[in-house]
């Protein structure tokens, strides 16, 4: 296996699909948003991207099986019958490419794949660090390849023109390749403050995104992911502490 | 030499071969099991895999010759005459690929090579860290691509569904590529506690593997590899100590 | 996207072009000279080089848009009508290739592209460290693939034969590939002393270059870039200080 | 430029050539031996190997010119008229490949190139660390792909079977690729003790090599390289000291 490949697992035909990209990154905001939407929308696995630019790892499953690390497309079939109704593809994953060469290869492949499905509009989700303290009321920033969208997104309380600097990885490169292939892409970023997993930033993005895409999603569950991820962060902190205090059983989990 | 290649050195035809993979990794459990089986079964060198993704090193031999670092397949011809009797290929080696790209290339190549020989079943051997202390009675964990095998392996005291996390390198990727190419693969892991060379974990795996594959191997020799590898570890520790105390003759062994 | 590509954005035809290369490097002398000439000559964007060997980043723009990191060719159409009048291509950029393989690929591509435009003469700009203190009156050193040019350049107070050691990146490799493809190339280096951004070295190079190429450029603006870049360096130093004193708002600017 | 290439600069036809390889490595023993033989035999440049796996650097020359870093073949035409007289190709260079992939590519290319010239016998030169103290009377060790040569080399006081461990880079890989392409190769190593430049080890190798190849070389000049390289090491040590004491003029020599 010498280059990245996408395997389509369902023969479903997405209708006018939108692509939402929620991959690991700053504050894990992208992953939280992607995984939450996938689970709330009960989206079905549609395609899997494998790549030699991901780490050479398989993940052990509770079933006693394994799966190779990947990025995965989940499809939500919009039940609306009217013309122009849009399905949603949600891209989530374990890792992003390790090298710059890998990032360029994978992200152009994703855009070409999505374009081949008739898709035209991409949203990538990320975190945007503004501080290293806890952010009480995270703002939502964005950049886009399509300036015509800015007024509408501004009306949805998304801030344009104030974020500056670089966007790394898929959240940024997908915009560049969308531009090259004449698609429209927008990167939506939740304000975050150096947390490993920032559910508050994810919640801020989700609220805006759900309204903007007119999705019917239980907003009460937003509290749940917020609590779950805070619990997860605490567990991680405790694991690190135990590690520093001395050996404990069953907390080493890798093999080669 | 720009990609990995396998050179077949014997024109022997393996019959219904099983592939056992014992490469360097955690606790060197894989290497210990592979080398022991190869030597006890007096398996003959069958093929050699060279790769530009291995370190650029040759090994000096006592004969005054050299050999390039490699992974090597050894073939054990099963003397049983009955239909369905299976030969065993044992894969051992000096290194695993240095990069993720190399790991993906080499491990798919191994699966394709083995499939080309008519092989259908792969066992990879590894270590599974559960602690950083000495493990008195190491358990044996496994994951598999073929859930139908789980009951039989559980009966052999192999634990399923309790190991979690990642498997790195060949021990894991071979399962992923076996799945892709419709072969069956199982990774068997000896519980280990951060030792460089853990013969106890290797012994635990060997006992189960020998019984499972119905091999006739002198179990008393298991003590020998246990002692040998513990001696090896002690020598390594002493070498490190001497290094810290000051210069000694003849313990630098590389050149470029 | 698996290899570097140059996209021509204008169908203008450069006439006898000279290539001036001002990319990031020691003291940012190259970038300062390139950006200043581009802006003073009001050169128009002519072509863009993208590469998977650059970092996987997009830059957020004040407009709310993004652009992928790149190297960019700007064209100055020489208004002179006489035969032999030469247009100037100025190459500036955000980054140089991260790997040695990338550097070799990109720099040969630049030479081939420029040769395809009928170009014959390249000047690369760099910094040359002679000290780690501030350099009051920076000298200008050069090396060239065309010894016939040395007397004329020496007359312009450029020092030959006294710089020694290595030249890294585009400033050096473009000379090597120019030689291979039978073009002429000269690397002009401003003496610098370990500054991040050394406008004095850039000014010294600019004065000589402008005279040598008989360009009509407002020399008073040289003071401006000098002051601007010194201000920039001070801001960077203050940002670093703040970072060390504790968290501040809005100084983290990346996302992935 | 995406892969390594060898450019032949002379149309001379080497007659039964032997290849002597003296590249940078442990104690710079290879470089010292190669450069000394090249200069004493007044060998002429025959071919140049460039590679994107070398550092992306050009070297500034005193003439005001530059050259790209490379490995270089020098040819010594044996004046003897008798049938079977052998010319010598000496390979020297600025660097070895930076990556393992580059090492495999370049070293197979060298063997194929040499085989294409009708060559059959390769000697690589290296250092062999046995201690980190000064070695008063350095021994000479060797490994070879051709066991038939061992008695003759042992008679020349070369020690076989006592060196152990790994050989890195060209000194080792050339033996592996020679074996693959049915040539004969021997690596001759001077005993050394962690010096940057070990002229004593080089001298020990040279004395044996000159006798073994029946070359007529002024042995008195051996003292000269010994002294020159010791002087070089001292200068390097002083440069390092000055660097630690504070800034000095003109000792930074790189640019990008």
pLDDT of residue A255: 35
Q: Cβ B255–D126 below 8 Å, yes or no?
A: yes
Q: Check residue B251 and give its pLDDT.
A: 29
- DSSP-derived secondary structure letter, D149: G
Could you give the number of structural domains in chain D?
1
The predicted pLDDT at position B132 comes to 78
* Helix B199-212 and helix B29-40, axial crossing angle in degrees, nearest 10: 50
CA angle A132, A133, A134 (to 5 degrees): 130
Q: Nearest CB to D64: which of C25, C97, C143? A: C143
A82 touching B, CB under 8 A?
no
Is A233 part of a structural domain of the chain?
Answer: no
Compute the distance between CA of residue B209 and CA of residue B32 in angstroms, rounded to an integer.
13
B229 vs D29 pLDDT, higher one: D29
Q: Do residues B141 and B187 touch, judged by C-beta distance below 8 A?
A: no
- pLDDT tens-place string over residues D68-94: 999 999 999 999 988 889 999 999 999
Q: From the candidates D5, D21, D162, D172, which should be mutated to test the interface with B, based on the most B CB atoms within 10 A?
A: D172
Mean pLDDT across B190-218: 88
Rounded to the nearest angstrom, the gap between the alpha carbon of residue A79 and the centroid of all alpha carbons in its chain is 23
Indicate the pLDDT class of residue B196, thresholds 50, 70 and 90. Answer: confident
Q: pLDDT by residue (tens digit) across C98-157?
A: 999 999 999 999 999 999 999 999 999 999 998 878 888 999 999 999 999 999 999 999
Residue C256 lies in a domain: no
Closest CA to B2 of D169, D173, D109: D109
DSSP for chain B reads --S-EEEE------SS-EEEE--S-GGGHHHHHHHHHHHHTTPEEEEEEE-TTS-SEEEEPTTS-EEE--EEEEEE-----STT---EEEEEES---SSHHHHHHHHHHHHHHHHHTT--EEEEEEEEE--SS--SS--EEEEES-GGGHHHHHHTT-EES---EEEEHHHHHHHHHHHHTT-EEEEEEEEE-S-SS-HHHHHHHHHHHHHHTT----THHHHHHHHHHHHHHHHHHHHHHHHHH---TT------
**Contacting residues for C57 by C-beta, under 8 A, at least 6 apart:** A166, A167, A168, A172, C68, C69, C254
| Whether ipTM exceeds 0.85 | yes
Query: In this predicted structure, what is the pLDDT of residue B238?
Result: 57
| Cα–Cα distance measured from residue B150 to residue B140, given in angstroms and rounded to the nearest whole number | 13
Q: Which residues from chain A sit within 8 angstroms of residue B142, using beta carbons? A: 64
Cβ-defined contact of A54 to B150 (cutoff 8 Å): no
Q: Which residues in chain B are closer than 8 Å to D136, comparing Cβ atoms?
A: none
**CA C68, CA A145: separation in Å to the nearest integer?**
11
Portion 38-67 of D in contact with B at CB < 8 A:
none
In a domain, B44, yes or no: yes
Bridge partners, D189 (sequence order): D126, D141
Residue window 208-247, chain B: list those with CB within 8 Å of chain D: 247
Interface probe with A: pick from C64, C65, C94, most Cβ of A within 10 Å: C64
pLDDT for res D125:
98
Neighbours of C61 (CB within 10 A): 13
Decide if D168 and B57 are in contact by the 8 Å CB cutoff: yes
Nearest Cα of chain D lies from the Cα of C102 at a distance, in angstroms, of: 8
Separation between Cα atoms, residue A126 and residue A141, nearest integer Å:
10
Is residue C205 scored above 80 in pLDDT? yes
Which structural domain range is residue C19 located in?
5-245
Residues of D in contact with B62 (CB under 8 A): 161, 164
Residue pairs spanning C and D at CB distance below 8 A: 125
Chain A residues touching residue B132 (CB < 8 angstroms): 247, 252
Minimal CA separation from C126 to chain D, in Å: 6
Nearest Cα of chain A lies from the Cα of C3 at a distance, in angstroms, of: 9
Query: pLDDT exceeding 90 applies to what percent of chain C?
Result: 70
In angstroms, what separates the C-alpha of D54 from chain B's closest C-alpha? 15
- pLDDT for the residue numbered A110: 98
Cβ-defined contact of A60 to B131 (cutoff 8 Å)? no
For residue D139, the domain's CATH number is 3.40.50.10900
DSSP D43: P
Ordered mean pLDDT values, 10 residues apiece, chain A (256 residues):
90 93 93 92 96 96 96 96 92 94 98 97 96 87 96 94 94 98 98 84 93 83 66 55 38 31
> Considering only alpha carbons, which residue of chain C is nearest residue D255?
C167
The residue of chain A with its CA nearest to that of C7 is A180
More confident residue, C82 or B172: B172
Checking if the pLDDT of D251 tops 50, the result is no
Please calculate the CA angle C25-C30-C32 and round it to the nearest 5 degrees: 115
In the predicted model, is pLDDT for residue C173 greater than 50? yes
Q: Is D56 contained in some domain?
A: yes
Give the pLDDT confidence score for residue D120 in this predicted structure: 97
Q: Does any domain span residue A184? A: yes
Nearest residue, CB atoms, A249 vs list B131, B173, B187: B131
**Interface probe with D: pick from C52, C100, C145, most Cβ of D within 10 Å:** C100
Percent of chain A residues topping a pLDDT of 70: 85
- pLDDT by residue (tens digit) across B79-134? 998 888 999 999 999 999 999 999 999 999 999 999 999 999 999 999 999 887 88
On chain D, the residues whose CB falls within 8 A of the CB of C106 are none
Mind telling me how many Å the CA of C154 is from chain A's nearest CA?
Answer: 42
pLDDT, tens digit, 9 for 90 and up, residues C5-45? 999 987 788 999 999 999 999 988 999 999 999 999 999 99
* First vs last C-alpha separation in chain A: 19
Q: How far apart are the first and last CA of chain D?
A: 19
Nearest to D166 among B1, B57, B247 (CB): B57
**How far, in Å, CA of B164 to CA of B142, rounded?**
10
Q: Which of B60, B94, B235 to mutate to test the interface with D (most CBs of D within 10 A)?
A: B60
D255 located within any domain? no
Q: Could D66 and C173 be called an inter-chain contact, meaning their C-beta atoms sit closer than 8 Å?
A: no
Of the candidates A107, A126, A161, the beta carbon closest to that of C255 is on A126
* pLDDT, averaged across chain D: 87
The reported pLDDT for the residue numbered C1 is 85
Surface-to-core class of residue D227, CB atoms within 10 Å of its CB (0-12 exposed, 13-18 middle, 19+ buried): exposed
Q: Which of B13-27, C237-251, D242-256 has the highest mean pLDDT?
A: B13-27
| Predicted pLDDT at C134 | 80
Residue C244: CB atoms within 10 Å: 7
Verify whether the Cβ–Cβ distance C68 to A189 is below 8 Å.
Answer: no
Residue A66: which of B108, B129, B175 has the nearest Cβ? Answer: B175
Measured CA to CA, the distance from residue A189 to residue B204 in angstroms comes to 51
B244 pLDDT above the threshold of 60: no
Distance of residue A43 Cα from the nearest chain C Cα, in angstroms:
24
- Whether residues C167 and D62 touch (CB distance < 8 A) is answered with no
Please list every residue in chain D whose beta carbon sits closer than 8 Å to the beta carbon of residue C103.
52, 56
Which chains does chain A touch, 3 or more C-beta pairs < 8 A? B, C
Nearest neighbour of A25 by CB, restricted to C1, C2, C256? C256
Q: What is the mean pLDDT of residues C66-89?
A: 94
| pLDDT averaged over every residue in chain C | 87
B255/D143 CB distance under 8 A? no
Cβ contact D187–B66 (<8 Å): yes
Looking at per-residue confidence, does B62 or B252 come out higher?
A: B62
In this predicted structure, the answer to whether residue C251 has a pLDDT above a threshold of 90 is: no
- The most distant pair of C-alpha atoms in chain B lies apart, rounded to whole Å, by 62
Tell me whether residue B112 is in a domain: yes
Does residue C250 fall inside a structural domain?
A: no
Helix axes C100-116, C169-180, angle to 10 degrees: 50
Return the partners of chain D (3 or more C-beta pairs < 8 Å): B, C
Q: Which residues of C touch A131 (CB under 8 A)?
A: 247-250, 252
Q: Above 60 in pLDDT, residue C68?
A: yes
């Amino acid at each position: 296996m010498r280059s990245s490949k996408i395997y389509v697992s369902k023969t479903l035909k997405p209708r006018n699909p939108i692509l939402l990209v929620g991959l690991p990154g700053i504050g894990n905001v992208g992953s939280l948003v992607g995984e939450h939407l996938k689970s709330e929308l009960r989206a079905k696995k549609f395609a899997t991207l494998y790549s030699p630019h991901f780490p050479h790892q398989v993940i052990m499953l509770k079933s006693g099986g394994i799966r190779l690390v990947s990025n995965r497309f989940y499809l939500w079939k919009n039940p609306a019958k009217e013309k122009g109704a849009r399905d949603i593809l949600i891209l989530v994953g374990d890792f992003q490419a390790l090298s710059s060469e890998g990032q360029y290869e994978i992200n152009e492949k994703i855009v070409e794949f999505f374009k081949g499905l008739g898709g035209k509009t991409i949203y990538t989700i990320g975190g945007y660090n503004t501080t290293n303290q806890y952010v009480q009321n995270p703002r939502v920033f964005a950049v886009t390849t399509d300036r015509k969208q800015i007024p509408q997104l501004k009306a949805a309380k998304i801030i344009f023109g104030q974020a500056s600097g670089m966007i790394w990885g898929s959240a940024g490169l997908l915009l560049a390749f969308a531009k090259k292939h004449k698609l429209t892409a927008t990167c939506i970023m939740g304000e975050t403050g150096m947390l490993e997993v920032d559910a508050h930033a994810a919640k801020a993005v989700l609220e805006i995104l759900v309204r903007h895409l007119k999705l019917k999603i239980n907003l009460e569950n937003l509290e749940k992911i917020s609590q779950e991820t805070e619990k997860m962060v605490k567990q991680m902190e405790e694991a690190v502490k135990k590690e520093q205090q001395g050996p404990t059983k069953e907390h080493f989990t890798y093999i080669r």
